[in-house]
Amino acid sequence: MIDLPRSARLAAWGTAALRGDVPLAAAVRAVQRDDEPHTTAGDASATDLPELLEGWRAAGHRGLRVVLPAPGDVAGLPGPASFNVEALDAGEAVLTDDEDGAGRRWGAWPDVTEFGSALEPGAMVTWRAELVQRPAAPPSTTLADAERQLDRSLRQALDALHRLDVARWREDAADRIALVRDGGLPRDAVPASTPPRAQRVLGTAVRLRGIVALASEDDGAVVTGWEARGRTEALRGVEAVARHAVVAAVNAVLEPARR
């Protein structure tokens, strides 16, 4: 199944809950899904996700941003260094979009422990909340930029799969290719208040990330080291486009002038 990272779901649903667009309990259910109830730790006094969101709402926060950092691409991380290291290791985090009455900003990253089997998976999630600094600069990709870049990158990624000929040499590949090529986001991935354009961008971006993940699993029909390196670089660039698009789409509701 193609889907959003937990931090993207928390940013989308958390913003809707903080603004009063959806009940807090509905937002928590959409973020947790089949996980064990999410707990919290760190600087916040909350012990679970409902308490964390309620505390942020009571403090006056009205929005959450998602950041999806990767090695060499840490736009949007706020500091301190300890938080940035953990968020980079997790590959995701959320940040409060504004300060509270005491001039504080918060960030949280998910510490995930998976258990069970492929047929009955499970996960325990703890959101590590910390006081953070103001980001030096927000991610520069706008929703319009993301939409323009995604179509080209989607063609590149599908071409990479075709050249790898994965459907021929891996038994499960044909079904998985069809899933990421034709699939869509789960209905509860984002709240209904998410702008339609942002929902379209998210649908394309997560499909693209799924294709890149499938194409990155092994070298397929690539037979030389030069070809493998070239394919890796191309896929890394495509994945970055998709990752930036997810960030732009989830955060679009906080930037109405840039839609």
What pLDDT was estimated at residue 238?
A: 82
pLDDT tens per residue across all 259 residues of the chain: 578 999 999 999 999 999 999 999 999 999 999 999 999 999 999 999 999 999 999 999 999 999 999 999 998 999 999 999 999 999 999 999 999 888 899 999 999 999 988 788 899 999 999 999 988 766 667 888 888 888 777 776 666 656 655 545 455 666 666 666 666 788 899 999 999 999 999 988 988 888 777 777 665 544 555 455 656 666 778 888 889 999 999 999 998 544 3
What pLDDT was estimated at residue 1?
A: 57
Cis preceding-peptide flag for 80 (omega within 30 of 0): yes
What pLDDT was estimated at residue 236?
A: 79
pTM of the model: 0.87
What pLDDT was estimated at residue 230?
A: 57
What pLDDT was estimated at residue 169?
A: 46
What pLDDT was estimated at residue 175?
A: 67
123 Cβ contact partners less than 8 Å away, ≥ 6 residues apart: 34, 35, 36, 112, 113, 114, 115
What pLDDT was estimated at residue 134?
A: 87
The Cα-based distances of 39 to 47, 49, 110 in angstroms read 6, 6, 10
What pLDDT was estimated at residue 259?
A: 39
